[in-house]
Amino acid sequence: MPRTVWSPPVFWLAAVLVLATTLFVRWDAAFVVQDSGLALFDPDTQRRLVRLHQIDASQTYPVVERLDGFPEGSISHWTLPMDWFLRALDPLARPFFEGARRYEAGAALAGPLLSLLSVAVMLLGCRCLFGPGAALLAAAFYGLAYSMVNIGWLGNGDHQNLQHLLLCVAWLLWLVRAWPAASGAALGLAVWVSTESQLMFYVFALLIFVRACIDREEADRRAKQDFVWVVGLLLAMLVGHVLEHRGDFLAFEIDKISWFQLYQVFVFALFCALRLKVACLRAPWLAWVAAVALGALPLLATGLGEAIGARVDAFASVNIWLQSEVSEFRSALIGPSGGFGLGPLLARESWLIVALPVLLAGVLWGNVLDWSRRVSLLVTACATFALEIWEAKLGHLFAMVFPLVIVAGAAGVRERWLSRATPHLRWVFAAFAIVMAMMSLPPAPSRTLIPRDYKVGYEMAGKLRRHGADGRSAVLAPWDQGAFLMYVAELPVLASAYHRNFAGLCDAYRIWLSEDDAEAHRLLKARQVGYVIAYFDRPMLVNAAKVLGRPALAEKVAGRYRFEPAAKRTLFWRLRRDASVPGFRHLFDGPKIDYHDPPGSGPLYRVWRVSD
């Protein structure tokens, strides 16, 4: 779009409109503000609030959270930056939400506010790269992106919002080539917030290496900036490591900032230092081989490699559960019902994703960016898109790259193939892109998540309390109910949607699938379980067996479940179907629901007391 159209007053007025739209599409107050007051239904937000109150009640950090994985508890892989952000935001947010409990108001407002800041960063960064018109288009598309809206709803206090803001700052400062230390530090802080951000470190490292291979002069000019960038990254991560692992400086964990991540960055810093200082290693691959060789010496000398292998094996076991039961950890090509195809991806990314190859060609052949930036954008787009295809949860990484691909790619396509087209074509394309983004907006939670189900949950929690549940014994319930029971009923649980408590989850599955009452009660006693909530949950008979490495007890064929004879002997089946079960006392049932496979009806859940 011609720069002359966008005088400063017009640009800033349009920017305010983009930011207001960003806030508007996330502000679903009907979902958060219920008759009983503020209600936060996102499980990760509930789990974060439980963590904050557990930290407040403890004199030390890291804190063992006794409510999750009772009675041993668990130490969270979540980290301090999001805790600090919610603590700082809560006093400012309370006037918007009367009657909110401590930290609830901050958690409710965190998603929209952090999304707003991310869009502002995108707007300013793209203005430096492309000019005002293209910046407005990129920011508008970014603010409406499915992955961005989905994590930024009102009531979502998940750390992914803060992580994404920091990644966006790191990425755009990298492209603008301003403040390399700040770019590295922002990425380091993002890794501190979530080690998922280490994936973007791999992307940045790949960019530096590719640039060194294909453009020696540019690499030499940027060598000092690259070294400053990696030093900023290393220092920010080191600060996070020290604050998270007090008294355990040598901590080595895959899912929480530690030497597992720091060591990788340290090896890459060696590569950058060699590229900068050692003239005889002009070939980048020689510098990389030297850095890897020096970095591998401690692994060979101390047996640290074996420790890494053990950690990876343990995490691989957890990943079986994540990909079996948590939909966001599956491929973006897999839909909610398990079908494979382009439909789920098109719903997330809009139909513009079909034009991705053409847009990438436009990025490569256009002149809107210099050669180095074009290569950086092309490589990052391909890498983050591949990550989203692998795991839908990683779609927010591609979401911060795709808007830049759209504006740079469209400009390149017009310059290369449509140079004689009418000047109004750019306005038509901009309008088309925004319409496509709006068509892919996720439905508001108040329309898709049935409030009745949550009211049922609150009623269940109240009845549990009235039947004597007081926190001295745990509740065995489906893992996806764990955060709710900890947050609303303030009761300890055996299993939750939390991979650090994988041992508790496996014990829960062993209890559910047990055909031996004595073995089931041995586990119940060891875990101090006092109450059992048997939900209507047929997929559990498939997924639990997969996680435990056992033969499946059920199979879904043509949309219908077929059960093995052994399934009907499990404790889960008997607690769902039988009027009485030895060793358990029936307390109450949930509301009736209709079954379609086979036809019939029954309670949504059944609650039992474990007999002494």
Rounded Cα gap, residues 150 and 298, in angstroms: 43
**pLDDT one-digit tens code per residue, 113-163:** 999 999 999 999 999 999 999 999 999 999 999 889 989 999 899 999 999
Closest CA to 52 of 84, 27, 74: 84
The rounded mean pLDDT for the chain is 86
Which of 325, 354, 370 is at the close of a domain?
325
One domain for residues 320 and 457: no
- Tell whether 465 is covered by a domain: yes
pLDDT at 279 over 50: no
Handedness of CA 162, 165, 169, 175 (dihedral sign): positive
Which is higher by pLDDT, 608 or 496?
608
Domain housing 298: 179-325
- Tell whether 421 is covered by a domain: no
Which of 284, 305, 325 is at the close of a domain?
325
Helices (H), 131-215: 132-144, 146-151, 160-176, 180-193, 198-214
- Tell whether 38 is covered by a domain: no
SS3 assignment for 248-275: CCCCCCCCCCCHHHHHHHHHHHHHHHHH
Q: Which two tokens stand for residue 379?
A: 């490589």
One domain for residues 462 and 602: yes
Determine the length of the chain.
612
Q: Which two tokens stand for residue 588?
A: 């109450």
Q: Which two tokens stand for residue 405?
A: 């691909």
pLDDT at 338 over 70: no
Which of 325, 356, 382 is at the close of a domain?
325
Rounded Cα gap, residues 510 and 265, in angstroms: 40
**pLDDT one-digit tens code per residue, 227-267:** 999 999 999 999 999 999 988 888 888 889 998 899 899 98
Residue 296 has a pLDDT of: 67
What value does the mean pLDDT take over residues 346-350?
A: 83
The confidence band for 1, taking pLDDT boundaries of 50, 70 and 90, is very low
**pLDDT one-digit tens code per residue, 218-237:** 777 888 899 999 999 999 99
- Tell whether 487 is covered by a domain: yes
- Tell whether 496 is covered by a domain: yes
Which CATH number fits the domain that encloses residue 530?
Answer: 3.40.50
- Tell whether 331 is covered by a domain: no
The secondary structure of residue 496, as a DSSP letter, is -
Residue 288 has a pLDDT of: 65
- Tell whether 5 is covered by a domain: no
- Tell whether 521 is covered by a domain: yes
**pLDDT one-digit tens code per residue, 186-204:** 999 999 999 999 999 999 9
User: Which of 73-87, 424-438, 551-565 has the lowest average pLDDT?
Assistant: 424-438
One domain for residues 460 and 595: yes
One domain for residues 454 and 587: yes
CB 33 within 8 A of CB 473: no
Q: How many domains does the chain have?
A: 2
**pLDDT one-digit tens code per residue, 368-408:** 899 889 999 999 999 999 999 998 899 999 999 999 999 99
What are the distances in angstroms from CA 51 to CA 7, 87, 343, 376, 542? 48, 12, 37, 39, 31
Q: Which residues of 431-440 are buried (b: 16+ CB within 10 A; e: fewer)?
A: eebbebbeeb
Residue 468 has a pLDDT of: 80
